[in-house]
Amino acid sequence: MSDSDDPIFKLVNDLPGTSVTGAVLHALDWIAPGQWKNITNFDELIADETGESDQDLVQQVGQRAIQLYTDASNGYQKAVWCFQMVDSLDKTIAAASAVNLIGQKFDLGFLKAITPQPEAAQAVDAGVKFACELASFVFVNGIPGDGVADFARAIGSYGKSDVMRLAAFAAIDCVLPLGPNFLEKITAAVSGSALTESKLYNAVARFLPGGGPDEHKALIQKNLEQAGGKVTQLVQEKGITQAGVLDKVREHISFSDDKLDVVAAALDVMTSYYEHTGVQSVARRVISRAYSEI
């Protein structure tokens, strides 16, 4: 996926109202109950974020938000690009596969076509994806340096689409494929790997603070050390388990395979939860700033 130059209102309006991504996020809502609303209309998002119903004011906020997002001196576009890039890889199977909506459930009847990556590669990608969350945080907030300390403090108070994305990351990218000791596995895999062997790293490297694979590896390790514990804390506090995630997802999606790595890989391929919630998160931040400036 190339960097999207679409204005923020179009990015929000183009989000799907009904999709596998939305179904999976609703399945995981128990991790962050009541936090996430799948709002896919820009004006509605403005009204929800500001609490305003006056259409003239909503339009004023919208116009200012569009200006702020487009201004390259702000980091909003880069944050969205980073979220988009995370979800842009390995979508070939998704594009070619029929996903049927049967009753109230999506049916994933193509799992035999999924070949999961080795566990170490999955763990490295999880570490890279978590670093992308850091990078987007840095862009949105205009933080100098690597921003790890600020990110580690902020992630514990995530709300709305931010906490929904963190919940999905914990469930789909950490617990489901890697088990309860996911943080140890991710840390070990990153330490013992060549980052350049990761397609995801190569795709997002330009967005990460620092320069070159060695600095990026140190950044990912630092981020895992200082902020990774918050993901573990979320998992422990909410009782997120492999069986629990599988059961909840099955309430919304039908699939026949019980192999955890296959299901995790399928959900990774078939969902764009990073981009979906990322667009909503950035839009809310831009709207909030625009509202304060009106």
Lowest mean pLDDT among 33-47, 71-85, 247-261: 247-261
Other Cβ atoms closer than 10 A to 119: 14
Report the 10 Å Cβ neighbour count for 34: 7
Mean pLDDT along residues 212-233: 96
Query: Residue 102's beta-bridge partner residues?
Result: 105
Residue 80 phi, psi dihedral angles, 5° rounding: -65, -45
Residue 46 in contact with residue 287, Cβ under 8 Å?
yes
Give the pLDDT score at 91. Answer: 59
Whether 264 shows a pLDDT value over 60: the answer reads yes
Query: Is the model's pLDDT at 186 over the cut of 90?
Result: yes
pLDDT in tens, 62-115: 999 999 999 999 999 999 999 999 988 655 444 444 445 445 555 555 555 666
Instruction: Record the tokens describing residue 113, joined without a space.
Output: 């076509």
Given CA atoms 86, 88, 89, 91 in this order, what sign does their dihedral have?
A: positive
Percent of the chain at pLDDT exceeding 70: 88
pLDDT of residue 149: 96
User: pLDDT tens across 140-176, in order?
Assistant: 999 988 999 999 999 999 999 999 999 999 999 999 9
- What pLDDT does residue 109 have? 56
Sequence-separated contacts (24+) of 284-288 with Cβ below 8 Å: 284/45, 284/49, 284/160, 284/161, 285/76, 285/140, 286/8, 286/65, 286/68, 286/69, 286/76, 287/45, 287/46, 287/49, 287/50, 287/61, 287/62, 287/65, 288/49, 288/50
pLDDT of residue 125: 93
Task: Please give the pLDDT value at position 108.
Answer: 57
- Could you tell me which residues come within 8 angstroms of residue 27 by beta carbon, excluding any fewer than 6 positions away? 248, 249, 251, 252, 253
What pLDDT, on a 0 to 100 scale, did the predictor assign at position 94? 44
Beta strands in the chain (DSSP E): 99-102, 105-108, 253-254
**Residue (of 26, 279, 50) closest to 171 by Cα position:** 26
